[in-house]
């Protein structure tokens, strides 16, 4: 059963999922530290290029199945117009100020 974004435990992760699903790039970027980084399937990627290509230009959507690590880890059915739907894992490093410093995604 899918966990509704509003019910996610960690406020930063909740806002991340909400911004992705609303296709709100500005809200998404406001959640990140200025030097935020990310990786996809274990390889570091250019964050700006990746989010445009994998989320915002192709209608990315996260349907959360499970939370781990007190809400900073997710198992998600992720879909976009490019790749269709796939089961993915997401992990977040959140600074004390509540902004995301790094996220990692990939297939489980």
Q: Torsions phi, psi of 59, nearest 5?
A: 60, 50
The reply to whether the predicted model has a pTM over 0.75 is yes
* 88-105 tens-digit pLDDT: 999 999 999 999 999 999
Give the C-alpha separation, 37 to 47, whole Å: 6
Listed residue (97, 58, 96, 63) closest to 78, CA to CA: 63
CATH code where residue 83 lies? 3.10.450.50
Q: In the chain, how many domains are there?
A: 1
State the residue range of the domain holding 54: 5-106
Give me the pLDDT at residue 1, please. 79
Do β-strands 73-80 and 61-68 pair in parallel, antiparallel, or remain unpaired? antiparallel
Q: Position of tokens 């500005």?
A: 26
Distances (CA, A) of 59 to 10, 21, 54: 24, 8, 8
Indicate the DSSP class of residue 2: P
- pLDDT tier for residue 30 given thresholds of 50, 70 and 90: very high
């Amino acid at each position: 059963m899918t966990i509704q974004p509003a019910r996610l435990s960690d406020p930063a992760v909740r806002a991340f999922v909400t911004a992705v699903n609303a296709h709100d790039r500005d809200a998404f970027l406001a959640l990140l530290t200025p030097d935020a980084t990310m990786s996809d399937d274990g390889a570091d990627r250019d964050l700006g290029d990746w989010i445009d290509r994998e989320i915002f230009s192709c209608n990315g959507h996260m349907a959360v199945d499970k939370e781990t690590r007190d809400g900073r880890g997710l198992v998600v059915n992720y879909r976009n117009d490019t790749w269709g739907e796939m089961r993915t894992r997401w992990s977040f490093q959140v600074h004390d100020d509540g902004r995301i410093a790094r996220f990692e995604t990939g297939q489980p």
